[in-house]
């Protein structure tokens, strides 16, 4: 992969065949028991986003080939929204909802998901949308680990009300200072060991996550060295952000730069 040939752009109806080809490539690369991770969308489904008012698609091209895509929604206050059970207190006009993220298998590990999300968030923050949310099946750890690495936090763990699937709900405050530090260890920090084979631990992880959420913890970071998911209470996360703001202010006062 040569990054100099990669171009991110909003997709439209002229890209329908590119989108279908990418979906087919990805599905064909999966094992049979993995294919349920991807919602098999029809041409009609995709056209609603390619030519949509509040549903959109962003893609990354390597020269002329589409290698990654994301379906996302920017709902308006007068319309029904996806995953309405999550963050109902946030007005639609302040939300960005990620629905589906696909990356060509041969391009994984190249931070394409991060590139697409940052492209969207930078633009939507200017439109006064300050909260990004996503729902991910717990038995798709690759996706929720990527979301964590992007700065999202696990703040709800439950069953999907439509089909009963075990899911994680993650959010990111787009207008909050982005974390540039490791979370501080204290009495309200919890470590959840994921190990080498997360799939074997899914049932137990789901129950443990629900318990920690009920006690006010958020899943905030993956420690790759210890293979653990770090959880901290919400008030501690806020304090860390505040402490980081103070650090930035003091540095600005002393050096004139951040």
What are the domain boundaries of the chain? 1-176, 180-258
Tell me the C-alpha distance between 138 and 209, whole Å.
10
Question: What distance lies between CA 204 and its chain's CA centroid?
Answer: 23
Question: What's the confidence (pLDDT) of residue 36?
Answer: 55
Bigger pLDDT: 215 vs 238: 215
Strand 153-159 with 131-137, pairing: unpaired
DSSP 8-state secondary structure symbol assigned to residue 213? H
pLDDT reading at 198 higher than 90: no
Question: What's the confidence (pLDDT) of residue 244?
Answer: 44
What tokens were used for 192? 């959840």
Question: What's the confidence (pLDDT) of residue 179?
Answer: 58
Contact call for residues 144 and 155 (beta carbons, < 8 A)? no
Bigger pLDDT: 103 vs 234: 103
Bigger pLDDT: 238 vs 163: 163
Bigger pLDDT: 107 vs 96: 96
Confidence bin at 258 (pLDDT 50/70/90): very low
Confidence bin at 190 (pLDDT 50/70/90): very high
Burial of 97 (0-12, 13-18, 19+ CB in 10 A): buried
Helix (H) or strand (E) holding 114: helix 112-126
Name every residue whose Cβ is closer than 8 Å to that of residue 193 and which is 6 or more positions away in sequence: 226, 227, 228
Bigger pLDDT: 4 vs 214: 214
Q: Determine the CATH number of domain 1-176.
A: 3.40.630.30
Question: What's the confidence (pLDDT) of residue 183?
Answer: 61
What tokens were used for 209? 């996550």
Contact call for residues 179 and 193 (beta carbons, < 8 A)? no
Mean pLDDT, to the nearest integer, of 164-175? 94
Mean pLDDT, to the nearest integer, of 55-75? 95
Tell me the C-alpha distance between 215 and 164, whole Å.
23
Question: Per this entry, what is the length of the chain?
Answer: 258
Average pLDDT, the chain: 85
What does each C-alpha distance from 213 to 135, 154, 172 come to in angstroms? 15, 9, 16
Confidence bin at 255 (pLDDT 50/70/90): very low
């Amino acid at each position: 992969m040569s990054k100099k040939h990669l171009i991110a752009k909003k997709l439209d109806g002229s890209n329908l065949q590119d989108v279908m080809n990418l979906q087919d490539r990805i599905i064909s690369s999966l094992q049979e028991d993995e294919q349920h991770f991807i919602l098999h969308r029809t041409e009609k489904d995709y056209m609603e986003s390619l030519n949509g008012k509040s549903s959109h698609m962003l893609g990354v091209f390597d020269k002329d080939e589409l290698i990654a895509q994301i379906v996302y929604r920017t709902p308006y206050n007068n319309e029904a929204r996806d995953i309405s059970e999550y963050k109902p207190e946030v007005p639609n006009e302040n939300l960005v909802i990620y629905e589906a993220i696909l990356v060509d298998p041969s391009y994984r590990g190249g931070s394409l998901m991060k590139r697409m999300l940052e492209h969207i968030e930078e633009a939507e923050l200017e439109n006064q949308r300050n909260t990004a949310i996503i729902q991910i099946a717990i038995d798709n750890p690759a996706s929720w680990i990527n979301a964590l690495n992007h700065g999202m936090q696990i703040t709800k763990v439950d069953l999907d009300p439509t089909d009963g699937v075990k899911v994680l709900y993650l959010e990111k405050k787009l207008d909050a200072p982005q974390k540039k530090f490791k979370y501080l260890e204290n009495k309200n920090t919890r470590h959840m060991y994921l190990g080498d084979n997360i799939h074997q631990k899914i049932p137990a992880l789901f129950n443990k996550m629900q318990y920690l959420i009920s006690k006010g913890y958020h899943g905030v970071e993956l420690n790759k060295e210890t293979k653990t998911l770090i959880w901290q209470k919400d008030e501690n996360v806020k304090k860390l952000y505040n402490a980081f703001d103070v650090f930035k202010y003091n540095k600005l006062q002393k050096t004139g730069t951040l």
